[in-house]
Chain A
Amino acid sequence: MATVANDRELAELLREQPTQQLDAFKGVKKVPLEEFFTSGHRTCQGCESALVMKMMVKAAGPRTIVLGSTGCMYVANTTYYSTSWVVPWMHTQLGSSGSAGLGTAAGLKALMRKGKMKNEPINVIAFCGDGGGADMGLSAISATLTHPDYNLLILMYDNESYANTDIQLSGSTPYGANTTFSTPGKVKRIMHHRWKKNTAAMLAAGHPSCRYVATVCMSYAVDAMNSVRKALSIGGPTFIHSLDPCPKGWDYDPIQSHELGELAVASGVWPLYEVENGVLKLIGKTRAIADRQLKRIPVRDYLLRQGRFAHFTDDDIDYFQSKVDEMWERWVIPGVIPFRKQIEADPAPA
């Protein structure tokens, strides 16, 4: 069988280039105290993306190289002479997280295979924001996920705008949100009519050789760290998409960051799942929602906590709700894959 041959090929690659085997943290008390992303950064109060950096590299450990594409997590974290990174860190271009991860992994692999560097598994993590990942860097990430023979993780921290450059809309900004490029005005209330890209599922569906894709939210930090550990252990290129509430871009009191992440999940706006070797597993509250053990809270309770939706009318909220309902009631895999079965599709016009 072809599957067996392919698996054997992959097993051979992993034997040649093994990964660190990072077991899941069994509870918050088992998480090590040692930090690899520490003081020296200048992120905003309540910045969830900074928390993602801290937890990501805590999960990965010291034998890790991190590549960071342009964005908040570059500009705010690496002021010259006061870097917050304990592990080796290198900037990469806005659209280059895929290429940076691939190049670093390829360089290490070549040098180790040819005996020019000590052979040991070194984690490679390339991160990008939603602008760098879902917009500009999509092509390079896609290409990288088709290379089964390099071990690396691409982590997209999604604060739903180009937050570093003053909150401009990205392909990952939710419908209708007020950004500096989509400000409501006297004639047009809604300037941004595009629906947020379904990035993680798109990458999972489009790259069947990629062994691990997950969505996370740092309101569920242990799950998120364990996703990072699994992504680094499993081998080959992997992708994690994190939703990060952003006090400045979403316009709310920084004390509410953690709660907003929970509301995004509870309202069904942000489904938590992982796709491991082609098997989809819904996680935590998302699973409970899908199993109908938990009722989704209205999106109103999530949207109206954020100033970026303050201009929404009831109609706008109803529209947003209807789109989220569609995700859960009509998608072939609720919350994940947006196809509808033909029998359920709208009838053709007469």
Chain B
Amino acid sequence: MPEAQVKTKVDPQVPVAPPIQQTPSVGEHTDLITGSEAIAVACKLADVDVITAYPIRPYDTVMQYVAKLVSNGELDCEYIVAESEHSQFEIVKHASAVGARVFCGSSGVGWMYAFEALTVTPGLRIPMVAMVGNRALDDPGAFGVEHNDALAVRDLGWQLVWVDSPQEALDTALIAYRVAEDRRVFLPCAISCDGAFLTHSQALVKIPSQDKVNAFLPRYDRGDLLLHPDNPITVAPQVNEDWLMEIRRQNAAAMERSLTVIREAYADFEKIFGRKYGNPFFEEYMTDDADVVLIGMGTLSNPVRVAIRQMREQGKKVGFVRQRWFRPFAAEQLAASLGRFKAVGVIDRDFSLGSPYLSGVLATEVRAALYPAAKRPPVIGFICGLGGREVTVPDVKKMTDKIYLAAEGKPQAGTQWIGLRE
């Protein structure tokens, strides 16, 4: 029986002491959980109203944890197992339109099966939060991580963030709701977790108290966009050439404002939870005195950090930039940071066949970000770790050697595949 319901006999003559105020840290604890479980816990803390599931590895572990939270009575939501990813995303899209906080997710070709729903969600200004358990786009079949699934929506108005630990997954899910549901933004947010490396790997995670989450995350208020008989609006009418550009521009402005809202959210997060992420958009590791840097997204940060520590023992001043937020892309800030180095190597766990210099997606974006900058170091793209292949410490050292050559002015191929049998 919950404490609040325990009745004790009180003598009416004796003045009753005021109830002890709950300290905000009640319920805080540390758990050994996976990235998927961390996001399921975030759904519980965020009091999500409607969740839809459909199986595909590796993201579906999050829905297994959600199912258990629901059946144990820890999470009060409508939990619906859909009959396809398309329906999965459409159901929560419509639940969000009537004011419900929603959660959804997918992986690989499952995410692509939902593509039509993913396309319309930002245009409808639906602040859905989704988890992408990054997975290769088969065929040929592969369960392992590649980032092409989440990156496929990069032009559509989805906010995209990559995390590299279960703690960051939990924290970022709370931040994602705060940012997506901010009326200045009202755009969906996908949290990318590398398949297997993060979805299935455990780490110690500090679970925050409900009080702190409540202080950080206000209720979702759809305001005058709420679909309800008391607010009888028509949503998504035919606009054609008359109005489409103006509406697109509004969505673009929302994405621009997202940069500010993300900064505010991380600042408040630090104040309330005491955990500091510094610059929200990208994390720098040993860059202060670095000659050259690598930049990449997701869990490849782990072998890269190990390799950097080893290389620094050999006197090589290498740093690492882990890109967190891919959309919105903090281009000026990144360009200013990268301009400090003699050369930059971009590790793409994705591909963009036929793209400029045959690079991956991140390398193309980094080059574009750097172009207007006063100081433009040489940029080499690396395609690495596709289909879940491990990015090894020797791989990282090999890439670093090539960046050093570029820094010395020795011409390098714009894109190189690393860890490839040839």
Contacts and interface: CB of A to CB of B under 8 A. Distances in A.
B398 interface: no
Given A89-B234, A96-B86, A103 B94 contact: yes
Contacts of A109: 78
Given A102-B91, A103-B94, A88 B100 contact: no
Contacts of A63: 229
The 4 closest A-B pairs by CB, nearest first: A103-B94, A107-B95, A99-B90, A143-B83
B275 interface: no
Interface string B56-89: 0000000000000000000011101011101100
Tell me the dominant secondary structure on chain A's binding face.
mixed
Contacts of A99: 82, 86-87, 90-91, 94
12 contacts: A88-B228, A88-B232, A88-B235, A89-B234, A96-B86, A98-B87, A102-B91, A106-B78, A107-B96, A109-B78, A111-B98, A111-B100
Interface in B230-245: 231-240, 242-243
B97 A122 contact: no
Contacts of A87: 229, 232
B92 interface: yes
A43 interface: no
B76 A93 contact: no
Contacts of B117: 93, 96
Contacts of A89: 232-235
A295 to B, nearest CB: 43
Interface of B: 47, 49-50, 52, 76-78, 80, 82-84, 86-87, 90-100, 102, 116-117, 120, 219, 227-229, 231-240, 242-243
A116 interface: yes
A95 B240 CA distance: 21
Contacts, number: 144
A164 B348 CA distance: 44
Contact of A86 (B219, B231, B232): B232
Given A92-B90, A107-B96, A116-B219, A102 B49 contact: no
Contacts of A86: 232
Interface centre among A87, A111, A139, by most chain B C-beta atoms within 10 angstroms, is: A111
Interface in A72-111: 74-75, 78-81, 83, 85-93, 95-96, 98-104, 106-111
A139 B83 contact: yes
A140 B227 contact: no
Nearest to B84: A139
Contacts of A332: none
A279 B124 CA distance: 41
Nearest to B236: A91
B97 A104 contact: yes
A92 B238 CA distance: 12
Q: Which of the four size classes fits the interface of chain A?
A: 35 or more
Given A110-B77, A111-B100, A142-B83, A85 B92 contact: no
B78 A83 contact: no
Contact of A110 (B78, B84, B227, B234): B78
Contacts of A92: 90, 94
A104 B95 contact: yes
A321 interface: no
Given A78-B234, A80-B238, A143 B87 contact: yes
A108 B229 CA distance: 12
B87 A106 contact: no
A65 B229 contact: yes
Contacts of A113: 76
Nearest to A98: B87
Interface centre among A62, A90, A116, A142, by most chain B C-beta atoms within 10 angstroms, is: A90
Interface centre among A64, A86, A95, A147, by most chain B C-beta atoms within 10 angstroms, is: A95
Nearest to B49: A110
Contacts of B93: 103
B116 to A, nearest CB: 6
Contacts of B120: 93
Interface in A94-138: 95-96, 98-104, 106-111, 113-114, 116-117, 122
A147 B237 contact: no
Nearest to B47: A114
B229 A104 contact: no
